[in-house]
């Protein structure tokens, strides 16, 4: 009887230990791990955009078309860019490049890989996103990069390599902050957001929300949105956060059209800043307080004569119409 009781106790202890680890890992999974995927598949690969929707010269692609007779001939520039700007540069290729200028490894498009695209090395369309894209433009494997403003490290990388980059603003976009749709906070001031990221505010209660810790989410250093955030902070340091903040109520940042037009997730909401919604109209009339330019970037020593022709096209009324058709705001009337 005593042996049986001991055995039950031992098995109970083993079971309790197993349950403890299962509960801890279950909690981590429920609050954290199950949310760590990309926008376009259940994997944790770097798929920030469904490139397959924006393939030039393919039927069913979601691309804009420039109303122009201009067509590029000769040496065709390689275009690359940030996830948010794939629709823009893919539309440029769709409009003025000859068919066959976009090629794929294996002959046809596939997103069944880490980066979600398989452009061949000789393809005139590439998608390296911001961090690898800046390296490609400096190293000369890309002719024009479509991106947000560079980080200090990216400027330094170009300087260290002795490369001068030309940044041509081609459109406007709102830099937006967003929270879960169930978060009752709808609007914050610029100073309140700087206070959140600077470590001044720790709970949503201090900002009119529930008594829940704030989790200020940052992004990969060198990404377009993180560089825009560093600039938004206007010299204030982004504070180190307590690791368990990941279990709190988050606030994140991105660009308006990427959130609204490309990802389109209805479970998040963009916050009004200083009471102004980040709408196209409020970007145009300048009332939204944080407006970012995005650029076509090329090397000053690029000898390809088609590079300045494409830049001129992007700044023309037809090119600016394309920027609007892609969901962004034109830089010039």
Partner 1 sequence: MKEKTFRCLILCVLILGILGTVFHLLYAADAYERCSIIRFIAEEPW
Query: In Å, how far are 43, 178, 220 from 265, measured between CA atoms?
Result: 17, 11, 21
Q: Which residues contact 190 (CB under 8 A, 6 or more apart)?
A: 232, 273, 274, 289, 290
Whose Cβ is closer to partner 1: residue 46's or residue 276's? 46
- Structure tokens that stand for 68 in this block: 């122009």
Q: Which stretch binds partner 1 (CB under 8 A): 13-21, 189-197, 289-297, 307-315?
A: 13-21
Give the nearest distance from C-beta 203 to partner 1 in angstroms. Answer: 15
- Alpha carbons 189 and 289: distance in angstroms, whole number: 10
Closest CA to 308 of 108, 17, 75: 75
| Candidate list 84, 88, 179, 322; residue touching partner 1; CB under 8 A | 179
- Alpha carbons 248 and 250: distance in angstroms, whole number: 6
| Candidate list 1, 2, 36, 333; residue touching partner 1; CB under 8 A | 36
- Structure tokens that stand for 270 in this block: 């963009």
Residue 227 binds partner 1, judged by CB under 8 A? no
Please, what sign has the CA dihedral across residues 292, 255, 298, 91? negative
Residue 271 binds partner 1, judged by CB under 8 A? no
Residue 10 binds partner 1, judged by CB under 8 A? yes
Give the nearest distance from C-beta 118 to partner 1 in angstroms. Answer: 19
Query: In Å, how far are 30, 88, 125, 316 from 146, measured between CA atoms?
Result: 37, 8, 12, 17
| Cβ contacts of 205-210, under 8 Å, gap ≥ 24 | 208/184, 209/183, 209/184, 209/185, 209/249, 210/184, 210/249
- Alpha carbons 306 and 94: distance in angstroms, whole number: 16
| Candidate list 78, 172, 259, 283; residue touching partner 1; CB under 8 A | 259
Per-residue mark of binding to partner 1, 90-119 (x: CB under 8 A): ------------------------------
Name which of residues 228 to 247 contact partner 1 (CB under 8 A). 246
- Structure tokens that stand for 189 in this block: 């001031």
Give the nearest distance from C-beta 114 to partner 1 in angstroms. Answer: 10
Residue 31 binds partner 1, judged by CB under 8 A? yes
Residue 207 binds partner 1, judged by CB under 8 A? no
Give the nearest distance from C-beta 232 to partner 1 in angstroms. Answer: 15
Q: Which stretch binds partner 1 (CB under 8 A): 55-63, 160-168, 248-256, 307-315?
A: 248-256
Residue 196 binds partner 1, judged by CB under 8 A? no
C-alpha angle 189-82-197 in degrees, rounded to nearest 5? 25
Residue 27 binds partner 1, judged by CB under 8 A? no
- Determine how β-strand 165-180 pairs with β-strand 329-330: antiparallel
Neighbours of 93 (CB within 10 A): 24
| Candidate list 17, 120, 153, 244; residue touching partner 1; CB under 8 A | 17
Residue 28 binds partner 1, judged by CB under 8 A? yes
Residue 35 binds partner 1, judged by CB under 8 A? yes
Q: Which stretch binds partner 1 (CB under 8 A): 38-46, 161-169, 227-235, 275-283?
A: 38-46
Whose Cβ is closer to partner 1: residue 14's or residue 120's? 14
Whose Cβ is closer to partner 1: residue 221's or residue 317's? 221
Residue 205 binds partner 1, judged by CB under 8 A? no
- Total site size for partner 1, rule CB under 8 A: 49
Q: Is 95 exposed, middle or buried (0-12, 13-18, 19+ CB in 10 A)?
A: buried
Give me the residues that bind partner 1 (CB under 8 A), please.
Answer: 6-7, 10-11, 13-14, 17-18, 20-21, 24-25, 28-39, 44-46, 48, 178-183, 217, 219-220, 246, 249-254, 259, 263, 265, 267-268
């Amino acid at each position: 009887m005593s042996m049986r009781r001991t055995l039950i106790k031992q098995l109970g202890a083993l079971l309790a230990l197993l349950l403890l680890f299962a509960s801890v890992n279950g909690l981590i999974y429920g609050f954290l791990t199950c949310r760590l995927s990309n926008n376009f598949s259940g994997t944790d690969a770097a798929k920030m955009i469904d490139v397959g929707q924006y393939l030039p010269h393919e039927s069913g692609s979601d691309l804009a078309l420039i109303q122009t007779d201009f067509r590029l001939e000769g040496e065709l520039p390689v275009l690359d860019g940030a996830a948010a700007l794939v629709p823009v540069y893919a539309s440029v290729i769709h409009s003025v490049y000859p068919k066959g200028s976009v090629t794929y490894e294996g002959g046809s498009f596939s997103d069944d890989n880490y980066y979600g695209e398989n452009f061949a090395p000789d393809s005139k369309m590439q998608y390296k996103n911001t961090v690898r894209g800046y390296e490609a433009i400096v190293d000369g494997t890309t002719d024009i990069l479509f991106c947000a403003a560079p980080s200090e490290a990216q400027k330094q990388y170009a300087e260290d390599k002795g490369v001068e980059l030309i940044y041509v603003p081609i459109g406007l976009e709102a830099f937006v902050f967003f929270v879960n749709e169930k978060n009752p906070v709808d609007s914050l001031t610029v100073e309140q957001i700087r206070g959140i990221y600077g470590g001044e505010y720790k709970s949503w209660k201090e900002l009119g929300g529930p008594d829940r810790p704030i989790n200020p989410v940052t992004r990969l250093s060198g990404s377009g949105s993180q560089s825009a955030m560093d600039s938004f902070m206007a010299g204030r340091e982004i504070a180190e956060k307590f690791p368990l903040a990941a279990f709190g109520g988050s606030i994140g940042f991105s660009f308006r059209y990427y959130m609204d037009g490309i990802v389109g997730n209805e479970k998040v909401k963009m916050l009004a800043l200083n009471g102004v919604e980040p709408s196209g109209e409020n970007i145009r009339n300048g009332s939204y307080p944080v407006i970012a330019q995005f650029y076509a970037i090329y090397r000053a020593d690029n000898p390809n004569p088609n590079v300045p022709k494409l830049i001129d096209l992007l700044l023309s009324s037809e090119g600016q119409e394309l920027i609007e058709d892609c969901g962004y705001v034109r830089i010039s009337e």
